[in-house]
Chain A
Amino acid sequence: MKWDDILLMRHELQLLAVILIVTCTEIYLTGKDKARVVPFAIALFTLHMVAGWIKPEEGMWFGGMFRTTPLIHMRKNILDLGVLIVLLQTAGWVKKQLVDENRVSEFYLLLWSSLLGMYYMISSGDLLMLFLGLELSTLPIAALAAYEVIRLRSAESGIKLILSAGLASAITLMGISFLYGSTGTYAIPELIKILSGTSLENLGFLFFFAGLAFKISLVPFHFWTPDVYEGAPTGVAAYLSVVSKGSAVFILMILLLGLTPGGMTEIWTWTLYVLAILTMTIGNLFALRQRNLKRFLAFSSVAQAGFILLGFFSTGPDGMASIIYFVLVYIFSNLAAFGVVHAISVETGKEDIGDYDGLYRANPLLSLVMLLAVFSLAGIPPLAGFFGKFFLFMSVASAGMYVLLFIAVVNTVVSLYYYLLVVRAMFLRKSEAPLAYFKSDAWMRASLVICVIGILALGVWSGVYEYIYQLCV
């Protein structure tokens, strides 16, 4: 083992160190002092994230099980960003709810462990490694979803997640074993060379794919999403909807875009084709009628996942760059929406769309953030979401799939309708009993500012996309 090799795993080891430091620090604090863990944890994580931007190395370790490239590195950085925003959004809630219960550092421990799992998943050069990462990233989230144990809904959400995830894992594992049985190897690069598209291989892949589809919540693997989002603490739901989903998209990208040259193109194209249409359409149609905002965002995030699939049809760097870009944009937009919901939910306990009637008059700033967030999610220029969708549509057009493009575009219009419902509630409706004005805590405000900057700047400042594109070439 050489020093250079260790440096390859720098990102993971850093995070591990952060986890250990925070956990140990909490031991020395008692009572109310435990609240101090929060700023400490956020500061350490920020440090970790900044260090993540140091010029990355390229290479493999453990006989190709672990690998890293600048592109992989950037994916981790993007996830870090999402996690940082979630940390800022949950800070107030952690202080308010968890300090008394003496469960502060566990929250961070679980959240970061799951992130660590995602790192390994993204870096894996081997199906087993990938599976381990997948498990490590899922199990802590189930605990987090049930974190507010006294609330039945939260406990239920945890149980549902772990049961569904267990099923998904079982099927994934079966898929992996089929693949292994058929090819005799776990290593992804070799696998790509050997695969020829026999029925067993296809079966193995579909099973394997189902596991990832579960994490991205593609239809019909999405059933758990609304229930878990609704029951889980809002910050955890936010984490599930962007970071967890983003990591699964990244790994899917590595697999699919790597595999397509092998004999599997046809089956992939059609699977994705059908799932993309199903996911966009079903997600949108369900979102139309939701009253609870967390449920609403859950279905909206299902629909957004369908849009992400559009990027997979162009096999060149365009497709890859547009997916990564979309995930980045989606992190900002969706976290802004979740942030507002979280702020209001923590302060007032209200989560229904009806409670947002007339919000603009009571709390103009929060409403404006929400407005930007949903407009970005709906893909209205000049916000970042527009560019994200535009690039994805561009990839579909480049693949010559006009029918799919048409369906995607119609779905965007449908989604516009329900996103406007939120805008209408906030700006255009009056309420007998509007929510009272409140000022959210500084952490929350910081997170919303970051999101808003992201939503506004990513679209207008083209450097980001070009940077991603260059890494993808």
Chain B
Amino acid sequence: MEGYNYTIWIVLLPFLVFLVVGTGSLRIRPIVAGWIGTGSILITLALSLMCAWNYFGAGAPEGGWQTLIPYDMVWLRFNDTLQVHMGILLDPISVMMLVVISVVSSMVHIYSLGYMKGEAGFARYYAFLSLFSFSMYGLVLATNLFQIYFFWELVGISSYLLIGFYYDRHSAVAAAKKAFIVTRFADFGFMIGILLLSWYTGTFDFATLTSPDGAAIAKAASVSFMGASVLTWALVLIFIGGAGKSAMFPLHIWLPDAMEGPTPVSALIHAATMVVAGVYLVARLFPLYIFGDATALEVVAWTGAFTSLFAAIIALTQEDIKRVLAYSTMSQIGYMMLALGVSGSGGEEGLGYTASMFHLFTHAMFKALLFLGAGAVIHAVHSNLMDGMGGLRRYLPLTHASFLVACLAIAGIPPFAGFFSKDEILAAALHKDPVLFGTALLVAGLTALYMFRLYFRIFWGENKSYAHPPHEAPATMWVPLMILAALSALVGFIPFGEYVSPDRLPHASHLDMSIAITATAVSVLGILTAMWLYRKPSGVPARISGGLGALYRAAYRKFYIDEIYMGVTKNILFKGISSPVAWFDRHVVDGAMNGIGWVTARVSKEIKGLQSGHVQQYALGFMLGVLALVFVFIFWLKQ
């Protein structure tokens, strides 16, 4: 434990900045707020890297990577057996997440100095970013389920605040509300899962819950409810929470709309960090999933696979570049879930777990880069739509170069980062189930296709005549792009298996050449198709989409999922339940008061003034209530 005391500052520093900047946001000069935020996040970056260096630098100790708990305090005592702690937990995945969050968050902080310059609420923006960083650090360092839930909600709130940052824009406000409510809905699944699990095991603590002797697991697995063990229920419910945050089908509908937030926010929250929290959660509880119950893990794998395919198809049809990226994020997170779902407990079997975390790591780098690059493009042409772009490679050489690196990385072209992690995922999937492997391979091809569709349409294609010639972004924006591009190109070479594996033992990473060649070939095919279709303006894409007809329209309309949700909520919740209730309230309860209805009007004529007639109705309701209770509980229940 000694020597990790500084980790507390990684969490506390952003919080202090949030308090200082947040309370003084009207008084301090915007740029000062920006630099306070950026400076502090750079300090946490240094601390995180130091932590990673200390933790991984010395090599794995005998018996595998250890779980360290430098801080732990009792925070709430529910009763004598169940207590809530707050603390800091360091193990391979939490240290890895520290690096991911601090790197991406630092880049986004620096980038925003340029991107958000001159926006109203600049200081508020930095206050919210700090709040987010604080919550995200707290989430990944959590020692127990309660703490993770607590920060999980805080992350949700900061995301809500940031999506709705442009609060005078109606769509942003609607999107923020949608994101908040959808994820909250999922979170309540999470909460019930936590309650069940902690009640049956008597602990919130990760170390006890996931201890290899399995005492906690056995306790929860022995009780059954509606045909499955409590453990299965709890794990599936917890996965629902994760699926909400990680935008898994069918809880994904908030993510594309969340793109209404400022673009750097999309890069940080909705691409690199918050949305992978669901993956992190499953990985954190992985021993429970693997030893406790195979059903829950299958749910994870198939949800992931379906989402990744589903989102990739939609991504092919979207016109708004941020939406393409949003669907691409969904698809890639589906990949990570898939990898977790096919993983075994250790050794060669455990490749899926390693692959999932590896992909999380590489994806954070190149997806953040893609978003920031998209931000630079939007900054230059003041539009999100691909129609208004084309030929930008000449105007934005730096953005173009970094965007290309990111596209190659996500398409899985060697030697860029995505290639290595994707290869491992495919290998793990093949090991488990050929159908999952086939899906994953198909998605790899589609990924290359839609990414390069994006790339060619933005940077090649028809040269548009721009009213103002687009110009390259300022240094605060392109420097982070360059750094992330370098990382996207290089991080694939990290031997991830040495550090992260489900049994905590280091494993040598190796490439499966047959899979690597197949996958690369599929990706290249995707790229070539995109090049053929989009490099030069042609009528082919339109003919294809026309030929596909209804299918294309369905994909373009995102398979009508939003409409289905709206239909359900509008028709069932509002029309079916709330409206009649409101009608009842207006016409029956308030009826007499408003003089609506002939009978009530007559009655109120009879008893004028204060006695509007409906106290009697209340009394009637009251009496009926008592009688109903009496009837039900004495005469009926007794039978």
Is there contact, CB below 8 Å, between A394 and B578?
A: no
Is there contact, CB below 8 Å, between A288 and B615?
A: no
Chain A hits for B560, CB < 8 A: none
Supposing A224-B618, A270-B637 touch, asked if A318 and B184 sit within 8 A by C-beta, the answer is no
Is there contact, CB below 8 Å, between B191 and A163?
A: no
Q: Confirm or deny: B9 has a beta carbon within 8 angstroms of a beta carbon on chain A.
A: no
Q: Confirm or deny: A412 has a beta carbon within 8 angstroms of a beta carbon on chain B.
A: yes
Interface string of B126-151 (1 = CB under 8 A from A): 00000000000000000000000110
Closest to B187 in A: A413
Alpha-carbon distance between A397 and B225 when the two chains are bound, in angstroms: 13
Is there contact, CB below 8 Å, between A285 and B577?
A: yes
Residue from B154, B195, B629 within 8 A of A397 (CB atoms): B195
Q: Confirm or deny: B185 has a beta carbon within 8 angstroms of a beta carbon on chain A.
A: yes
Residue from A155, A381, A394 within 8 A of B199 (CB atoms): A394
Alpha-carbon distance between A374 and B273 when the two chains are bound, in angstroms: 28
Is there contact, CB below 8 Å, between B191 and A318?
A: no
Binding site for A on B (CB under 8 A): 75-79, 82, 84, 149-150, 153-154, 157, 164, 167-168, 173, 177, 180-181, 184-185, 188, 191-192, 195-196, 199, 225, 577-578, 581-582, 585, 589, 610-612, 615, 617-619, 621-626, 628-630, 632-634, 637-638
Alpha-carbon distance between A262 and B159 when the two chains are bound, in angstroms: 51
Is there contact, CB below 8 Å, between A382 and B150?
A: yes
Chain B hits for A398, CB < 8 A: 199
Is there contact, CB below 8 Å, between B184 and A416?
A: yes
Is there contact, CB below 8 Å, between A206 and B633?
A: yes
Chain A hits for B617, CB < 8 A: 223
Alpha-carbon distance between A391 and B168 when the two chains are bound, in angstroms: 38
Alpha-carbon distance between A410 and B189 when the two chains are bound, in angstroms: 9
Q: Confirm or deny: A187 has a beta carbon within 8 angstroms of a beta carbon on chain B.
A: no
Closest to B189 in A: A409
**Interchain Cβ contacts under 8 Å between A and B, 22 examples:** A155-B610, A160-B615, A164-B622, A167-B619, A199-B634, A206-B630, A210-B626, A221-B622, A223-B617, A282-B581, A317-B79, A393-B192, A394-B78, A397-B192, A397-B199, A409-B188, A416-B180, A424-B173, A428-B164, A430-B168, A462-B77, A466-B76
Chain B hits for A39, CB < 8 A: none
Interface string of A132-152 (1 = CB under 8 A from B): 000000000000000000001
Alpha-carbon distance between A156 and B610 when the two chains are bound, in angstroms: 6
Alpha-carbon distance between A210 and B628 when the two chains are bound, in angstroms: 11
Is there contact, CB below 8 Å, between B589 and A223?
A: yes
* Nearest CB of B to A257, in Å: 15
Q: Confirm or deny: A267 has a beta carbon within 8 angstroms of a beta carbon on chain B.
A: yes
Is there contact, CB below 8 Å, between A380 and B157?
A: yes
Alpha-carbon distance between A289 and B590 when the two chains are bound, in angstroms: 13
Is there contact, CB below 8 Å, between A428 and B167?
A: yes
Chain B hits for A406, CB < 8 A: 192
Alpha-carbon distance between A270 and B636 when the two chains are bound, in angstroms: 12
Chain B hits for A199, CB < 8 A: 634, 638
Among B167, B610, B621, B630: residue with most chain A CB under 10 A? B610
Is there contact, CB below 8 Å, between A397 and B196?
A: yes
Chain A hits for B618, CB < 8 A: 160, 164, 223-224
Is there contact, CB below 8 Å, between B633 and A270?
A: yes
Q: Confirm or deny: A265 has a beta carbon within 8 angstroms of a beta carbon on chain B.
A: no
Supposing A394-B199, A413-B181, A430-B168 touch, asked if A405 and B192 sit within 8 A by C-beta, the answer is yes
Q: Confirm or deny: A171 has a beta carbon within 8 angstroms of a beta carbon on chain B.
A: yes
Is there contact, CB below 8 Å, between A387 and B633?
A: no
Q: Which residues of A in the span 366-408 have a Cβ within 8 Å of any Cβ on B? A: 380-382, 386-387, 390-391, 393-394, 397-398, 402, 405-406
Alpha-carbon distance between A412 and B618 when the two chains are bound, in angstroms: 27
Among A223, A270, A402: residue with most chain B CB under 10 A? A223
Q: Confirm or deny: A469 has a beta carbon within 8 angstroms of a beta carbon on chain B.
A: yes
Closest CB pairs A-B (n = 9): A220-B625, A223-B618, A289-B582, A397-B195, A462-B76, A409-B188, A285-B581, A381-B153, A428-B173
* Nearest CB of A to B610, in Å: 5
Residue from B82, B167, B196, B634 within 8 A of A203 (CB atoms): B634
Closest to B628 in A: A220
Q: Confirm or deny: A159 has a beta carbon within 8 angstroms of a beta carbon on chain B.
A: yes
Closest to B585 in A: A286
* Nearest CB of B to A471, in Å: 13
Interface string of A443-470 (1 = CB under 8 A from B): 0000000000000000000100110010
Is there contact, CB below 8 Å, between A207 and B626?
A: yes
Supposing A289-B582, A462-B77, A469-B79 touch, asked if A220 and B634 sit within 8 A by C-beta, the answer is no
Is there contact, CB below 8 Å, between A318 and B581?
A: no
Chain A hits for B632, CB < 8 A: 270, 274
Alpha-carbon distance between A210 and B621 when the two chains are bound, in angstroms: 12
Closest to B573 in A: A414
Supposing A159-B610, A267-B633, A402-B225 touch, asked if A220 and B621 sit within 8 A by C-beta, the answer is yes
Q: Confirm or deny: A179 has a beta carbon within 8 angstroms of a beta carbon on chain B.
A: no
Alpha-carbon distance between A156 and B581 when the two chains are bound, in angstroms: 24
Q: Confirm or deny: A202 has a beta carbon within 8 angstroms of a beta carbon on chain B.
A: yes
Closest to A406 in B: B192
* Nearest CB of A to B130, in Å: 16
Alpha-carbon distance between A189 and B279 when the two chains are bound, in angstroms: 55
Is there contact, CB below 8 Å, between B153 and A221?
A: no
Alpha-carbon distance between A410 and B638 when the two chains are bound, in angstroms: 31
Residue from A206, A380, A413 within 8 A of B626 (CB atoms): A206
Supposing A271-B633, A465-B76, A466-B77 touch, asked if A210 and B612 sit within 8 A by C-beta, the answer is no
* Nearest CB of A to B169, in Å: 10
Among A270, A316, A409: residue with most chain B CB under 10 A? A409
Alpha-carbon distance between A394 and B79 when the two chains are bound, in angstroms: 11
Supposing A316-B79, A410-B188 touch, asked if A381 and B615 sit within 8 A by C-beta, the answer is no
Is there contact, CB below 8 Å, between A288 and B629?
A: no
Supposing A220-B625, A224-B618, A410-B188 touch, asked if A424 and B177 sit within 8 A by C-beta, the answer is yes
Q: Confirm or deny: A180 has a beta carbon within 8 angstroms of a beta carbon on chain B.
A: no
Alpha-carbon distance between A462 and B615 when the two chains are bound, in angstroms: 44
Closest to B226 in A: A402
Alpha-carbon distance between A390 and B611 when the two chains are bound, in angstroms: 43
Chain B hits for A438, CB < 8 A: none
* Nearest CB of B to A93, in Å: 23
* Nearest CB of B to A304, in Å: 17
Supposing A289-B582, A394-B78 touch, asked if A168 and B196 sit within 8 A by C-beta, the answer is no
Q: Confirm or deny: A131 has a beta carbon within 8 angstroms of a beta carbon on chain B.
A: no
Is there contact, CB below 8 Å, between B76 and A289?
A: no
* Nearest CB of A to B204, in Å: 11
Chain B hits for A61, CB < 8 A: none
Is there contact, CB below 8 Å, between B629 and A271?
A: yes
Chain A hits for B184, CB < 8 A: 413, 416
Q: Confirm or deny: A417 has a beta carbon within 8 angstroms of a beta carbon on chain B.
A: yes
Alpha-carbon distance between A156 and B577 when the two chains are bound, in angstroms: 30
Closest to B618 in A: A223
Chain A hits for B154, CB < 8 A: 381-382
Is there contact, CB below 8 Å, between A380 and B153?
A: yes
Q: Confirm or deny: A442 has a beta carbon within 8 angstroms of a beta carbon on chain B.
A: no
Chain B hits for A223, CB < 8 A: 589, 617-618, 621-622
Alpha-carbon distance between A207 and B589 when the two chains are bound, in angstroms: 24
Q: Confirm or deny: A214 has a beta carbon within 8 angstroms of a beta carbon on chain B.
A: yes
* Nearest CB of B to A429, in Å: 8
Chain B hits for A387, CB < 8 A: 76
Alpha-carbon distance between A203 and B632 when the two chains are bound, in angstroms: 11
Alpha-carbon distance between A290 and B180 when the two chains are bound, in angstroms: 22
Alpha-carbon distance between A285 and B583 when the two chains are bound, in angstroms: 11
Is there contact, CB below 8 Å, between B181 and A420?
A: yes
Q: Confirm or deny: A107 has a beta carbon within 8 angstroms of a beta carbon on chain B.
A: no
Is there contact, CB below 8 Å, between B619 and A393?
A: no
* Nearest CB of A to B143, in Å: 16
Residue from B164, B610, B625 within 8 A of A210 (CB atoms): B625
Alpha-carbon distance between A278 and B173 when the two chains are bound, in angstroms: 32
Alpha-carbon distance between A286 and B191 when the two chains are bound, in angstroms: 26
Alpha-carbon distance between A271 and B637 when the two chains are bound, in angstroms: 11
Among A202, A226, A405, A428: residue with most chain B CB under 10 A? A428
Alpha-carbon distance between A155 and B612 when the two chains are bound, in angstroms: 12
Residue from B77, B611, B612 within 8 A of A469 (CB atoms): B77
